[in-house]
Amino acid sequence: MKPVIILNFKTYLEGTGAKAISIAKACEAVAAETGLEIIAAPQLPDIYQVARSVNIPVYSQHLDGTTGGSTTGHILAECVKYAGASGTLINHSERRLTLAQIDESITAAVRTGLSTVVCTNNIATTRAAALLNPDYVAIEPPELIGSGIPVSKADPDIVTGSVEAVHAINPNVKVLCGAGISKGEDLAAALELGSVGVLLASGIIKAVDPKAALYELVSKV
Amino acid sequence: MKPVIILNFKTYLEGTGAKAISIAKACEAVAAETGLEIIAAPQLPDIYQVARSVNIPVYSQHLDGTTGGSTTGHILAECVKYAGASGTLINHSERRLTLAQIDESITAAVRTGLSTVVCTNNIATTRAAALLNPDYVAIEPPELIGSGIPVSKADPDIVTGSVEAVHAINPNVKVLCGAGISKGEDLAAALELGSVGVLLASGIIKAVDPKAALYELVSKV
Amino acid sequence: MKPVIILNFKTYLEGTGAKAISIAKACEAVAAETGLEIIAAPQLPDIYQVARSVNIPVYSQHLDGTTGGSTTGHILAECVKYAGASGTLINHSERRLTLAQIDESITAAVRTGLSTVVCTNNIATTRAAALLNPDYVAIEPPELIGSGIPVSKADPDIVTGSVEAVHAINPNVKVLCGAGISKGEDLAAALELGSVGVLLASGIIKAVDPKAALYELVSKV
Amino acid sequence: MKPVIILNFKTYLEGTGAKAISIAKACEAVAAETGLEIIAAPQLPDIYQVARSVNIPVYSQHLDGTTGGSTTGHILAECVKYAGASGTLINHSERRLTLAQIDESITAAVRTGLSTVVCTNNIATTRAAALLNPDYVAIEPPELIGSGIPVSKADPDIVTGSVEAVHAINPNVKVLCGAGISKGEDLAAALELGSVGVLLASGIIKAVDPKAALYELVSKV
C-alpha cells in the first residue's frame, strides 16, 4: 500500500481560495511524481473549486450526520459529495463530535460513498473509533498539534500502540498519525512505527514554499 | 426600501447541488420580474456554484468568528467571501452560537464586507442582538419553524414588539421575521407588522414547484 | 448477580429537593425489602442531602473529565465523590459528550473510585463505549426515552444485540437498557433479553405514588 | 453601595469539599469584619454544605434555563435554590451559553429569586448582556483570566467602557470586572474605574493562606 498523506488546510489564510487551489496543485504534482497518495482537505466553500482543479482526492474537513432537512448550517454528505469530495475528516480535535454524532457522520459518509478518517486523541479512543468502521483513524495527541514537535518523535508509543490496538480490534481500519509532522524524517518514522501515513497541516500550508515543503516531506520514503 | 426575502436552503435534498442552482435561478427570475430583493442561502459547499450561476445575493447559512488558523472545519469569512457569498446568517436556531461567538462572527463578517443576519428567538434576545450591530435581525420563534403556521398569524406581537424594540435601541438594524412563512399573505402580513421582509425555507424549497411557490409568495406585495 | 435499577431523577420538579430525598427513601425501602440493587441518580445540588439520607448507592447524572482547575461550572469527580456519590451516568442522551470527553470522564471516575454508566444510542456506539471500560453501558434508543413505550417491547433486538456485542468485545462490562421502562413486565423483559437491569426515570419520578410504582416495577422479578 | 467580591471556586481541588467550606468561612469572617459583600461560588455538589456552613451569599457557578423535566445533568434553578444558593454566575468564559440560553437562564433565575451575574468578554457583549436585565454583568477579558495580570491594569478602558455602556443602556445593571484580580490594589483600581466590585478565583483559592489573601485583597478599600 502506498503511503498516505492527508493535508489539512484548516482555515489558514495561506490555504484559502486561490491559495487553496495552488497548494492542491502542488499536492497533485508531488503525488504524480512520487506515486504517493496525497489527499487535499480544503475548507468547505473551497471544495468545489479545488476538486475541479486537481486530479487527486479531495476531502472535507468535517461532516455532520444529517440526512438532510432542518439542519441549517450543517454539512450534508450529499452536498459535500456533489461538490467533488471523495472523503472526509471526522471529529478533528478542533471540531469534536459526540460519540453518537461520529457514528451518524460515518453512516452519512457510507451512504454517499465518502471515505472516512476519524481523528482521535489517545489509544483508548482510537480503539473505540476503530469499532465504528471508518476507513482510517488518525491518532493525534492534541497537545502536539501545531507544535512542530512530531508525534513520531515525542510519543512513538502512541503510534505503535494505536496500530497494535486497531489491528487487534478491527484490522480493516488503517491507522494514520498526526501532530507536529512536517519533515521527511517525520513521515519516514510514522511509516516505520506502523502507520500507513500522516495527517498534517501547518508544516506545509504555512511554509514559504509549500511545494518545496511537500517534496522535502516525501524525500525519505 | 424593497421587501427582502431570504430563502434558507437548509440541508434539504431538494435544495442541494444541481437543485440548489435551479432554485437559485428561480429566485433570480422572480427578483428580476418583481424588483424584490431575494437572497439565496444555500449550503456551504454549494455557495460557489450558486454564486456563479445567478445574479442575486448569495448568503452563507453560518459563519464562525475565526480569523484563520487552527480551526479545522470552521467557516472562515474570507473563504465564504471568496466563494461568492455577500452575506451570512448567524445564530440560526439550528446552529446556535454563544454570545461571544455571535459577536466574533459579526466582526469577521464586517472585516470581509459580508452582510449579517442574526437570528433570534424572542424580543429580549432580538434587542440584545441588535446592539451588536448586524445588518438584520431575524426573529423566529423556534416552535413555529417548519410548522406551516406563520409567525405573522400565530404571534404577530413578537414581530411588532421586535420592530419597536430594535427601532428604539438601534434603528440602523433592520428586522426580518420568519418561521412558518410560505404564502403571499404571510409576506404581506410580515411587512404590515413593520418588518422589512422574511426568512423562509421549507415552504419554498420543498414545494412541488419552487418557482410557482415563489411567485405565490410575492403575489400580495 | 442481583438485577440493577438506576432511577434517573432528571430535573423533574417531582424529584427535586425534599422530593428527591423522599423518592430516594422509597428506593431504599424497596431495595431493602426485595434485595434488588436500586441506585438513585438525583440532581447535582441534591446529591449531598440524598446521600446522607439513604443507605443505597447515589449516582451523579453527569461527570466532566476535568482534573480540577480552570473549569468553572464543570463537574469534578472529587467533588461529586465528597458529596456522597459512588457512581455516575456519563453521556446521557440529554447531556452528550464527545468521544474524548467520555474517555476523560471515565478516567476521572476511576481516579476517584466512582462507578460508571455510559449511555449509548445503538449497538455500534454501545460496542465502542464498552471498549472504554466503564462498569456499565446503558443502551437507550433516544426516540423511546420518555415515550412510555418500553425498549424491551419496541426494539428487543437492540437489547440482545448490545448484550451479545458487549459480551464479545469486553465481557467485563455489564449492559443495562432503558427508554420507556416503567412496569414490572418491562423490567422482567429487560432481564430476559440479557441485560442486568434498567435505567428509568419518568415512569417512577412522575408517578402519583413513586413508591407504589417501584413496587410494581419489581413485582415480576 | 458596599463593594462586592465574588469568589469563584472553579473546580480547584484547593476549593473542593471540606476546603470549600473552610474558604467560605474565611470569606464570612472577612465580610463580617470589613462590612464588604463577599459572595462564595463553590461547585454545584458543594453548594448545600457551604450554604449551611456560612452566613454569606452562596452562588452557583452555572445555571441552565430548564423549567424541569427531560434535561438530565442540567442545572435547575429550583434545585440550586433548594440547596441554599441565592444567586448564580451565567455564561462564565469556561462555561459559555448561547444567547437564547443566557436569556432562559436569567428567566429561570428570576422565576426562583436567584440573583444573576452574566459574564462577558468585551464591551459589545457586555452591552448586549445588560439588555437582558441581569443583576450584574462581569466583564472578564478571557486572555487575562488566571494570568495574574489584573484587568484593571492591563485594560482599564474595558472596565470604564463597560461601566459607561451599561450605564447608558440599562442603569439597573451593576458592573463587576474580573480576570487577574488578586491584590488589594487591583480591587481598589476596579472600584476607581467605576465597577461595583470584582469576580476572582485563583488568586485567593490557590493562595497558601486564602484568609490572609482575602484580608490583603480588601486592605485598600
User: Number of C-alpha atoms within 13 angstroms, CB side, residue B220?
Assistant: 15
Contact D95 C80 (CB under 8 A): no
First-last CA distance in chain D: 13
- The pLDDT of residue C137 is 98
Residue of B nearest to D139 (CA): B100
Whether C129 contacts C118, CB under 8 Å: yes
Cell matching residue C118: 455510559
- The pLDDT of residue A180 is 86
Question: What angle in degrees, to the nearest 10, is found between the helix axes of B99-112 and D99-112?
Answer: 150
Q: Which helix (H) or strand (E) holds D199?
A: strand D197-200
Whether A30 contacts A2, CB under 8 Å: no
A96 touches B: beta carbon within 8 Å: no
Residue of B nearest to A63 (CA): B73
Chains in touch with B (3+ beta-carbon pairs under 8 Å) read A, D
Phi and psi at B132, nearest 5°, equal -85, 5
The catalytic residue among C62, C104, C140, C216 is C140
Output the CA torsion D70→C54→D51→D146 (10° steps): -60
Positions of B marked catalytic: 92, 140
Question: What angle in degrees, to the nearest 10, is found between the helix axes of C123-130 and C156-169?
Answer: 30
Question: What angle in degrees, to the nearest 10, is found between the helix axes of C123-130 and A99-112?
Answer: 130
Q: Is the pLDDT of residue C1 over 80?
A: no
Q: Which residues of B touch D100 (CB under 8 A)?
A: 93, 96, 120-122, 125
Q: Which helix (H) or strand (E) holds C151?
A: helix C151-154
- Chains B and C touch each other (3 or more Cβ pairs < 8 A): no
Whether A215 contacts A24, CB under 8 Å: no
Contact A73 B66 (CB under 8 A): no
Distance CA C132, CA B76 (A): 35
Nearest by CB to residue B62, choosing from A43, A60, A73, is A73
- The pLDDT of residue A142 is 83
Nearest by CB to residue B128, choosing from D99, D101, D121, is D99
- The pLDDT of residue D221 is 87
Whether B89 contacts B60, CB under 8 Å: yes
* Residue A124 to chain C, least CA–CA distance (Å): 6
Q: Which residues of C touch A99 (CB under 8 A)?
A: 91, 96-99, 102, 120, 125, 128-129
CA nearest B190: which of B148, B144, B152, B149?
A: B152
- The pLDDT of residue B130 is 97
Nearest by CB to residue D99, choosing from B129, B133, B169, is B129
A80 touches B: beta carbon within 8 Å: yes
Output the CA torsion A120→A146→B82→B59 (10° steps): 50
What sign does the dihedral A135-A139-A144-A150 (CA atoms) show? negative
How does pLDDT run across A88-123, given as a tens digit for each residue? 999 999 999 999 999 999 999 999 999 999 999 999
Mutation test of the interface with chain D: which of B91, B99, B140, choosing the one with the most D Cβ atoms within 10 A? Answer: B99
Distance CA D156, CA D154 (A): 6
3-state secondary structure of C59: strand
A173 touches C: beta carbon within 8 Å: no
Q: Which helix (H) or strand (E) holds A26?
A: helix A18-34
Q: Which residue has the cell 448586549?
A: D128
Cell matching residue B114: 459580508
- The pLDDT of residue C147 is 80
- The pLDDT of residue C148 is 81
Nearest by CB to residue A103, choosing from C93, C103, C122, is C122
Contact B96 D99 (CB under 8 A): yes
Nearest by CB to residue C11, choosing from D11, D17, D66, is D66
Whether B7 contacts B38, CB under 8 Å: yes
Instruction: Point out which residues pair with B60 in neighbouring strands.
Output: B88
Nearest by CB to residue D124, choosing from B96, B98, B103, is B103
A172 touches B: beta carbon within 8 Å: no
Mean of all residue pLDDT scores within chain A: 95
ipTM: 0.96
Q: For residue D54, give every residue at least 6 positions away whose Cβ sits within 8 Å of its Cβ, in sequence order, or none.
A: D21, D24, D25, D27, D28, D40
C189 touches A: beta carbon within 8 Å: no
Quick one: DSSP state of residue A57?
-
Contact A124 C102 (CB under 8 A): no
Distance CA B22, CA B53 (A): 9
Q: What share of chain A is helix, strand, coil (3-state, %, to 5)?
A: 45, 15, 40
Q: Which helix (H) or strand (E) holds D190?
A: helix D184-192
Contact A45 B48 (CB under 8 A): yes
D68 touches C: beta carbon within 8 Å: yes
D129 touches B: beta carbon within 8 Å: yes
CA nearest C90: which of C49, C47, C133?
A: C133
Mutation test of the interface with chain A: which of B47, B58, B62, B70, choosing the one with the most A Cβ atoms within 10 A? Answer: B70
Distance CA D130, CA D137 (A): 7
Question: What angle in degrees, to the nearest 10, is found between the helix axes of D156-169 and D123-130?
Answer: 30
Mean of all residue pLDDT scores within chain C: 95
Q: Which residue has the cell 427531560?
A: D70
D97 touches B: beta carbon within 8 Å: yes
How does pLDDT run across C148-187, given as a tens digit for each residue? 888 888 889 999 999 999 999 999 999 999 988 889 999 9
How does pLDDT run across C53-99, given as a tens digit for each residue? 999 999 999 999 999 999 999 999 999 999 999 999 999 999 999 99
Q: Is the pLDDT of residue C2 over 80?
A: yes
- The pLDDT of residue D42 is 98
Instruction: Point out which residues pair with A117 in neighbouring strands.
Output: A89, A136
Distance CA A8, CA A141 (A): 16
Distance CA A216, CA B33 (A): 57
- The pLDDT of residue C154 is 87
Whether D52 contacts D23, CB under 8 Å: no
Output the CA torsion D199→D202→D204→D209 (10° steps): 170
Average pLDDT for A58-70: 98
**Can you list the residues of chain D whose pLDDT is less than 70?**
none
D25 touches C: beta carbon within 8 Å: no
CA D211, distance to chain mean position in Å, is 18
Whether C218 contacts C30, CB under 8 Å: yes
Grouped pLDDT means (10 residues each) for chain B, 221 residues: 94 98 98 96 98 98 98 98 98 97 98 98 96 97 83 90 96 94 92 95 95 95 87
> pTM (2 decimals)?
0.96
Distance CA B80, CA B76 (A): 6
Contact B98 D98 (CB under 8 A): yes
CA nearest A77: which of A108, A104, A115?
A: A108
3-state secondary structure of A85: coil
Contact D129 B127 (CB under 8 A): no
Written in H, E and C, the secondary structure of chain B is: CCCEEEEECCCCHHHCCHHHHHHHHHHHHHHHHHCCEEEEECCHHHHHHHHHHCCCCEEECCCCCCCCCCCCCCCCHHHHHHHCCCEEEECCCCCCCEHHHHHHHHHHHHHHCCEEEEEECCHHHHHHHHCCCCCEEEECCHHHCCCCCCHHHHCHHHHHHHHHHHHHHCCCCEEEEECCCCCHHHHHHHHHCCCCEEEECHHHHCCCCHHHHHHHHCCCC
Distance CA A39, CA A48 (A): 15
Contact B75 A17 (CB under 8 A): no
Whether A65 contacts C58, CB under 8 Å: no
Q: Is the pLDDT of residue A146 over 90?
A: no
- The pLDDT of residue D146 is 76
Residue of A nearest to B45 (CA): A45
Written in H, E and C, the secondary structure of A134-203 is: CCEEEECCHHHCCCCCCHHHHCHHHHHHHHHHHHHHCCCCEEEEECCCCCHHHHHHHHHCCCCEEEECHH
- The pLDDT of residue B34 is 94
Nearest by CB to residue C44, choosing from D8, D45, D89, is D45
Chains in touch with A (3+ beta-carbon pairs under 8 Å) read B, C
Residue of B nearest to D118 (CA): B99
Distance CA D218, CA D183 (A): 8
